[in-house]
DNA sequence: ATGTTGTGACACATCTTGATACAAATTTTC
DNA sequence: GAAAATTTGTATCAAGATGTGTCACAACAT
């Protein structure tokens, strides 16, 4: 987890209390001191005292197993909605990413080239690029990408991700035939390989 | 309640869903449009869908009866801790919103451009804009928008929201062909994307 | 060297959204 | 209270975005 925190941008943490080694409460406390990432605690215990301790510990919300996935989603949305309104620093803001001659304001559906020309992105392309950039350097499987972008499962013979990747490449790769920014990890998925700079950080 | 809201300063509302007359959800929705007062929903129903609907409706937290008083207290503290970090007065202001060269007094059915020219809005456009601005940065589905603005269900092939969006864009977008303020989230709905400032807060 | 499997590219059908026109409903004006 | 003006919803078509099927080819395995 600590490793991931250092190399990736994390917006929210869903944290199970029952863990081998350091337990959830401890982690929660530790995170609260250093970062300001919102936390949703998860537990199998129905102990009411635990609910309370968790909230008092600084967690942003709490959910006990077994839970309805839709509820988890609703709570995540709810927490994000709140934290998004907080002043910039605290919400691990995504801001602006710069890579390979492109400037990408994650909030806008376009990428701007060095010469100032903006290329518009469709909603799907935008979501895909956000997911890739947020996990730059990591290989994401098609399943993961589908989950991140559409939040759904893959169908049999689902080629939609490949297609969106292809369309995205056509727009941002200098030479779409030899992708340098979005490279394919054969048998694994796709990876955002260009180095990303976050000027506002 | 409405009376109290107008003459007193309220920091937080604990709202029961089961009420004679207008129900909690409806009140919650209504409050969300005008004020920013944090709400904790309270219910006897154990229906899981209600939990979800409540959170999605914009409540800040949720508690089902019977509850442990200490937990209610913990949740109140938790919610207040979060909302207190929000920009000062923002939480219960009805006030005025400024965005992208427009000034919008939510109470009036018009928007005023930088140069002082006022553009009149129909009541439908006004309600829609209020809903969008109140949830700036969030994507609202057509269903949600229909519910927020008209309080009704969608018909088969209901394009009324699209139409109102289109009319609103024609009035407030600098270039209605390339919307920057109200952007469409393909397959998802619409989002108020411009950054909003609340000068009186 | 050969077969198998995954990927890129393309065409096309499907679905979603934008734009326009028009009719119904509502509000305003006289 | 009737006519006029405005607003709103529905229908329709055009444009755009997405997903599926297919083929060729590259990467991998035997």
Q: Which pairing describes strands B189-192 and B139-140: parallel, antiparallel, or unpaired?
A: antiparallel
CB < 7 A contacts with chain C (nucleic strand) = A 142, 159, 162-163, 165-166, 169, 176-177, 179, 184-189; B 142, 159, 162-163, 165-166, 169, 176-177, 179, 184-189
Among the residue ranges A112-116, A152-156, B50-54, the one predicted with the least confidence is B50-54
Tokens of residue A105, six digits: 């304001």
pLDDT tens for each residue of A179-195? 889 999 998 899 999 98
CA A156/CA A16 separation, integer angstroms: 32
CB atoms within 10 A of CB A76: 19
Overall average pLDDT of the A95-108 stretch: 87
pLDDT tens for each residue of A59-82? 777 777 777 777 788 788 777 766
Q: Per the CB < 8 Å rule, is A55 touching B48? A: no
Among the residue ranges A61-65, A91-95, A146-150, A191-195, the one predicted with the least confidence is A91-95
The per-residue pLDDT for A48 is 54
CA B178/CA B172 separation, integer angstroms: 12
Beta strands in chain B (DSSP E): 13-16, 39-43, 61-64, 96-99, 102-105, 110-113, 118-120, 139-140, 182-185, 189-192
Q: Per the CB < 8 Å rule, is B56 touching A75? A: no
Question: Is pLDDT of A93 > 50?
Answer: no
Query: The whole model's pTM is what?
Result: 0.62
Question: Is the CB of residue B52 less than 8 Å away from at least one CB of chain A?
Answer: yes
Greater pLDDT, B30 or A197: A197
CA A79/CA A60 separation, integer angstroms: 7
Cis bond leading into A24, ω under 30°?
A: no
Burial call B14-52: b when 16+ CB within 10 Å, e when fewer = ebebeeeeeebbebbbebbbbbbbbbbbbbeeeeeebbb
Tokens of residue B156, six digits: 């088969």
- The minimal CB distance from A81 to the residues B68, B138, B187 is found for B138
Q: How far is the CA of A166 from the C1' of C1 (A)?
A: 32
Q: Per the CB < 8 Å rule, is A55 touching B78? A: yes
Q: How far is the CA of B125 from the C1' of D2 (A)?
A: 29
CB of B166 closer than 8 Å to CB of B182: no
Burial class (CB in 10 A: 0-12, 13-18, 19+), B193: buried
CA A121/CA A126 separation, integer angstroms: 6
Q: Per the CB < 8 Å rule, is B85 touching A90? A: yes
The per-residue pLDDT for B88 is 42
Task: Please choose, from the candidates A144, A150, A14, A146, the residue with its C-alpha nearest in 3D space to the C-alpha of residue A79.
Answer: A14
- The minimal CB distance from B48 to the residues A56, A71, A124 is found for A71
CA A175/CA A8 separation, integer angstroms: 27
Tokens of residue A55, six digits: 């909230």
The per-residue pLDDT for B189 is 93
Question: Is pLDDT of B169 > 90?
Answer: yes
Question: Is pLDDT of A147 > 80?
Answer: no
CA A134/CA A12 separation, integer angstroms: 13
CA B36/CA A96 separation, integer angstroms: 29
Q: Per the CB < 8 Å rule, is A52 touching B71? A: yes
CA A49/CA B93 separation, integer angstroms: 36
% residues pLDDT > 70 (chain A): 74
pLDDT tens for each residue of B174-193? 999 999 999 999 998 999 99
Q: How far is the CA of A180 from the C1' of D7 (A)?
A: 53
pLDDT tens for each residue of A19-47? 766 667 777 777 766 566 788 888 765 55
């Amino acid at each position: 987890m600590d490793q991931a925190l250092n190399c990736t941008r994390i917006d929210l943490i869903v944290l199970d209390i029952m863990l081998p080694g350091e337990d959830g409460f401890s982690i929660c406390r530790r995170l609260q001191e250093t970062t300001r990432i919102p936390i949703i605690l998860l537990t199998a215990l129905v102990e009411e005292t635990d609910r309370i301790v968790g909230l008092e510990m600084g967690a942003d919300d709490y959910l006990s197993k077994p839970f309805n996935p839709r509820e988890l989603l609703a709570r995540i949305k709810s927490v994000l909605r709140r934290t998004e309104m907080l002043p910039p620093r605290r919400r691990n803001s995504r801001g602006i990413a710069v890579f390979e001659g492109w400037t990408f304001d994650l909030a806008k559906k376009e990428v701007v080239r060095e010469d100032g020309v903006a290329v518009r992105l469709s909603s799907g392309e935008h979501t895909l690029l956000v997911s890739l950039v947020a996990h730059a350097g990591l290989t994401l499987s098609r399943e993961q990408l589908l989950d991140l972008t559409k939040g759904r499962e893959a169908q049999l013979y689902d080629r939609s991700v490949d297609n969106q990747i292809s369309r995205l490449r056509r727009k941002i790769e200098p030479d779409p035939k030899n992708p340098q920014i979005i490279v394919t990890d054969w048998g694994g998925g796709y990876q955002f390989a260009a180095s990303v700079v976050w000027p506002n950080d």
